[in-house]
Amino acid sequence: MTNVTTPAAGRHHSSDPPGPAWPPEPVSPQQRCWADLRQQVVFRSKRLNVGHMIEADQRFGQRDALGPHGVALFFVCDAPAEPHGYRLHTAYRLWLASPEADDLPGLLGDLTEVTADNIARGTAAGRRWHPLGPDGSMVNGGDLSLPAGAVYVGVGVSTLDSDQGRWQQVGRSLRDVPAGGRQRSAFDLKGQCYALLTDGTALHVDRDPHARLGADGVRCTRSLDPDRISYHNPHEQLTEQGDHPTRQVWRQLARLHRVLTAHLRAERRP
């Protein structure tokens, strides 16, 4: 590992300054590294959500139709040639459409229970379970193998539900030909992403393909700009904001994140 403290090093317990300070405190390499990682997670989450949307649209109404929700796992490994000394890897899980797959909090809750069972079963058999397998894999896409030493840094959600409506309703509307109007495509639809990282970051992405220039739709409990870490952040309590269904998503995602963190990073705690 390089001398720079990156997410791959596992020393993730520092926190951003609590409020504005003048003169501003120097930004550490670790803070810049985590800010960069948050930006990369935003980019990967958006890309996953777009791919999820396109694939779900292509398979809409078919026997192998996709459900509206997916889960992503984020890992980093040492990469000295990269600007911050690490490389991000993303694996994900998508589900076939079913009544159970429509309920995001329930889906996350079930996945948490399955994950805990896999961990316990592996421990009882003297094996260390990993979410990418080979036994009990919880992913079916993305980076399905990792370099040696890769470290878990977070979990996320891709959902096709948005303020435009639930996916089944919106996806069906793409098949309607408007009278005298332009028919929409999947590229016109919004999507959402949630993520929790091991440094305490929570972030939400409202992906809007028609957003005005400069509106990225990102809300994050910690700064994505390493030079603004001491500025007031209106999203510090992000996981407690929003309506009840949104808070339920955060709570169930946090349960899954705690189980994965406790298992995958236990040996890295000081």
pLDDT tens figures, 204-236: 999 998 888 878 899 999 988 877 766 678 899
Q: Please check whether residue 156 lies inside any domain of the structure.
A: yes
- In the predicted model, is pLDDT for residue 3 greater than 60? no
Q: Please check whether residue 245 lies inside any domain of the structure.
A: yes
Q: In total, how many domains does the chain have?
A: 1
Q: Please check whether residue 39 lies inside any domain of the structure.
A: yes
Q: What is the mean pLDDT of residues 154-180?
A: 90
Q: Please check whether residue 129 lies inside any domain of the structure.
A: yes
Question: Are residues 70 and 48 in contact, defined by beta-carbon separation less than 8 angstroms?
Answer: yes
Question: Please, which pLDDT band fits residue 266 given cuts at 50, 70 and 90?
Answer: confident
Q: Please check whether residue 152 lies inside any domain of the structure.
A: yes
pTM listed for this prediction: 0.87
Q: Please check whether residue 2 lies inside any domain of the structure.
A: no
Residues contacting residue 115 through CB under 8 Å, at least 6 positions apart: 131, 138, 256, 259, 260
Question: Are residues 249 and 157 in contact, defined by beta-carbon separation less than 8 angstroms?
Answer: yes
- In the predicted model, is pLDDT for residue 6 greater than 50? no
Question: Are residues 65 and 59 in contact, defined by beta-carbon separation less than 8 angstroms?
Answer: yes
Please tell me the predicted confidence (pLDDT) of residue 267. Answer: 54
**Model confidence pLDDT, tens digit, residues 21-52:** 455 567 788 888 999 999 999 999 999 999 99
Question: Please, which pLDDT band fits residue 86 given cuts at 50, 70 and 90?
Answer: very high
For residue 56, give its domain range: 26-268
Q: What is the mean pLDDT of the chain?
A: 88
Question: Please, which pLDDT band fits residue 144 given cuts at 50, 70 and 90?
Answer: very high
Q: Please check whether residue 218 lies inside any domain of the structure.
A: yes
Tell me how far apart the alpha carbons of residues 31 and 226 are, in angstroms, rounded to a whole number.
Answer: 6
Which stretch of DSSP H or E encloses residue 69?
strand 66-78
Q: Please check whether residue 189 lies inside any domain of the structure.
A: yes
Q: Which of 6-10, 64-68, 69-73, 257-261 has the lowest mean pLDDT?
A: 6-10
